[in-house]
Structure 1
Amino acid sequence: MPNCLITGASSGIGRQLAMHYAKAGWQVLAVARSTDALNALAQQHTSIQPFTADLTQAKDIAALCQALTDSGQPLDLAILNAGTCIYVDATDLKLSDFEQTFAINFFALVALSAALLPLLKQAAKGRLALVSSLAHYFPFTRAEAYGASKAAVSYFADSLRADWASEGVAVSLIEPGFVDTPLTQKNDFAMPFLLTVEDATNRIVSGLDHSKPRIRFPKRLVWSLNLLRVLPYRWRIRLAKRMKP
């Protein structure tokens, strides 16, 4: 039975991924901060093992890796999906907003990637999947902290893929558009091409099944953002300013 680890598994995409892989015959280690939500998830399938952890804490990462080591099974797939979004007030920038966003979206992801490498190397075809976002493709208003953290994830994934090739561990970068999750349900603006969590999960799973290095969706939003990126820089700046509420 293959093994996978999924962070941010208490809700949204992470929860749906955990359910999918459990039903597909995988042993799933579901990781999140909410013990109650994880226990509720584990009751849905016997192949889901809940593990409560705050991934911004080194001791929790160490405990998580020790649990994986104690299982005696190789880690075939790790999907690092945990994240947060804090919209900032650009006229009153607070460093704490950036620190909180980067702590979970980027620094925890880097720390866990490093800790999981030995376990992924034990698998015949270990794969690390890092969840970023299409948000960093355009300077969306109030997204300075979130977009910057996801841009860091995408660059990290692309660079790590090159360096880990010699280690026998593949790296996939997942860049979704807007997905209907508890995180996006807090947004007070229109979200073009909004996907259900089930649709997003199916796209991610399909991409991973086909060993894609980059999984971006939906295509309509990808094409739209790519078109914006080829516009003259000054035009993009003007457009971004017009999008401000």
Structure 2
Amino acid sequence: MTSTILITGASSGIGRETALHYARNGWTVYAVARSADKLAELSAEVPQRIVPVSLDLTDSAALTSWFAKLPAELRFDVVLLNAGNCEYVEATNLDISAFERTFELNVLAVVRAVKEALPRLSAGSTLAIVSSMAHFFPFTRAEAYGASKAAISYFADSLRVDLHDTGIKVCLIEPGFIDTPLTQKNDFAMPFLMPVAQAAERIYSGIAAGKPRLRFPRRLSLMLKLLSALPYGLRIKLANRMKQQ
């Protein structure tokens, strides 16, 4: 029997590459994104394995309606909630709309998707949520993005506790810098930048192994852990110094 996965944010970056990786390994992939054109291109890569789903995750009514129309017997072996965005802000003139957009997609849309997806998961299934290492350290102009990722990481960890007795596994994925269209917009150095195909393989193998948390690249994770262990005052000085570089 073919295994089935739902992946959000599947039109580009990590979501697209991971959808292709699963499809090429024989899975049926429900690929969710807003762009119907990009989803059509994606599904053409692995015909008959990828089901394109054009859907705006911030539209709660549309999200509920789509799940309600699925066959009653359909269950997902994995639900991978990957859709997200990054907007940088200026502290001296905080853009509230940027915070609203960021939290709407990176946090609230994820929570809504979890609510709709849970009835489609069974004991042994995996709910995987993509966050980021960005919340490990106070990076410049990352107030909106980092805060949203801190929120969703906590949400995933707490959710794992409350779903323990159901047998549904929760996997928190916290990548560092991955070479995607999103990071290609950055105008600063990105240490240990990982190719997106390698990130997809890490996600595929990590979920298959039943790991509760995935962090990669490992070298960046170790570096940020060391920075987090510094005395608070020293962390502040270091963050300010990094901002000026």
Give the TM bin, normalised by the shorter chain: over 0.9
Q: Which residue of 2 aligns with 1:209?
A: 208
Q: Which residue of 2 aligns with 1:162?
A: 161
**C-alpha displacement at 1:113, in angstroms?**
0.4
Q: Which residue of 2 aligns with 1:140?
A: 139
* In the alignment, structure 1 residue 101 sits paired with structure 2 residue 66: no
- The 3-state SS of whatever aligns with 1:243 is helix
Q: Give the counterpart letter for 1:6 in structure 2.
A: I
**C-alpha displacement at 1:64, in angstroms?**
2.7
**C-alpha displacement at 1:243, in angstroms?**
1.6
Q: Structure 2 matches for 1:35-46, cutoff 5 A? A: 35-45=36-46, 46=48
Identical amino acids, percent of aligned pairs: 56
Q: Which residue of 2 aligns with 1:220?
A: 219
Matched residues in 2 for 1:185 and 1:66: separation? 37
Q: Structure 2 matches for 1:1-245, cutoff 5 A? A: 1-45=2-46, 46-67=48-69, 69-70=70-71, 72-121=73-122, 124-245=123-244
- The 3-state SS of whatever aligns with 2:170 is strand
Cα deviations across residues 83-115 of structure 1 (Å, max 9, x unaligned)? 000000111001111000000001000010011
**Unaligned stretches of 5+ residues in structure 2:** none
CA spacing shift, 1:71–1:22, aligned 2, 3 Å:
farther
Cα deviations across residues 155-210 of structure 1 (Å, max 9, x unaligned)? 00000000011122110000000000000000000000000001111111111111
- The 3-state SS of whatever aligns with 2:243 is coil
Matched residues in 1 for 2:128 and 2:52: separation? 19
Matched residues in 2 for 1:158 and 1:54: separation? 25
Matched residues in 2 for 1:3 and 1:21: separation? 9
- The 3-state SS of whatever aligns with 1:148 is helix
Matched residues in 2 for 1:77 and 1:171: separation? 10
- Checking the alignment, whether the CA contact within 8 Å between 1:51 and 1:64 is kept in structure 2 is no
Matched residues in 1 for 2:159 and 2:85: separation? 22
- The 3-state SS of whatever aligns with 2:45 is coil
**C-alpha displacement at 1:66, in angstroms?**
2.4
- The 3-state SS of whatever aligns with 1:113 is helix
Matched residues in 2 for 1:47 and 1:59: separation? 27
Cα deviations across residues 50-76 of structure 1 (Å, max 9, x unaligned)? 001110111221133124x32732111
CA spacing shift, 1:226–1:77, aligned 2, 3 Å:
same
Q: CA RMSD in A?
A: 1.0
- Checking the alignment, whether the CA contact within 8 Å between 1:3 and 1:73 is kept in structure 2 is no
TM-score normalised by the chain length of structure 2: 0.96
Number of residues paired by the alignment?
242
**Unaligned stretches of 5+ residues in structure 1:** none
TM-score normalised by the chain length of structure 1: 0.96
- The 3-state SS of whatever aligns with 1:78 is strand
Matched residues in 1 for 2:185 and 2:174: separation? 20
- The 3-state SS of whatever aligns with 1:10 is coil
Q: Give the counterpart letter for 2:202 in structure 1.
A: R
